[in-house]
Amino acid sequence: DTGAISSAVHSRSGVWSPDGKYFAIGGVNGSDKPVIVYSWENGQLNFLDEYTLTSCWNCQSISWSPDGKYLAASPYTGSTALIIFKFDGSKLSLIRSVLDVESPGFTSAESFDWSADGKYLFVGFKTDSENWTSGILKVFSINNDSAEELKYLEKSLSGGAATVNVHPNLPIVATMSNGTPQVQFWQFDDTGREKLTEIEGCNKWTGSKSLRRASWSSDGRYVSLVGLSTVAGDGSACWVYEFSNGTLTERARFNHGSNLLDTSWHPSGKYLLISGNDDGGGINVKVLKFDGNNLTNITDCEIDVGTSYSAKWHPSGNYLGLLSLEDTLIKCYKFENESVSLAGTYNHG
Confidence at 2, pLDDT banded by 50, 70, 90: very low
> Does position 29 have pLDDT exceeding 80, yes or no?
no
Question: 33-77: per-residue pLDDT in tens?
Answer: 788 899 998 888 888 998 887 766 667 789 999 999 999 998 876
pLDDT above 60 (res 226): yes
For residue 306, the model assigns a pLDDT of 76
- Per the model's pLDDT, the better-predicted residue between 225 and 227 turns out to be 225
pLDDT for residue 276: 87
When pLDDT is averaged across residues 100-110 and rounded to a whole number, the result is: 58
The band of 245, judged by pLDDT with boundaries at 50, 70 and 90, is confident
Q: What is the C-alpha to C-alpha distance for residues 76 and 136, in angstroms, rounded to an integer?
A: 17
| Most confident range, picked from 113-122, 175-184, 276-285 | 113-122
Q: What is the DSSP string of 129-153?
A: SSSS-EEEEEEEEEETTEEEE-GGG
Can you give the pLDDT at residue 246?
75
Q: Are 249 and 241 spatial neighbours (Cβ–Cβ below 8 Å)?
A: yes
Average pLDDT over the chain, rounded to an integer: 83
Closest C-alpha to 35, from 17, 65, 19, 58: 58
Which pLDDT belongs to residue 346?
A: 74
Q: What's residue 19's pLDDT?
A: 96
Q: What is the mean pLDDT of residues 153-180?
A: 85
What is the chain's length?
A: 349
Question: Above 80 in pLDDT, residue 244?
Answer: yes
Most confident listed range (79-83, 116-120, 253-257, 345-349): 116-120
Burial class (CB in 10 A: 0-12, 13-18, 19+), 206: exposed
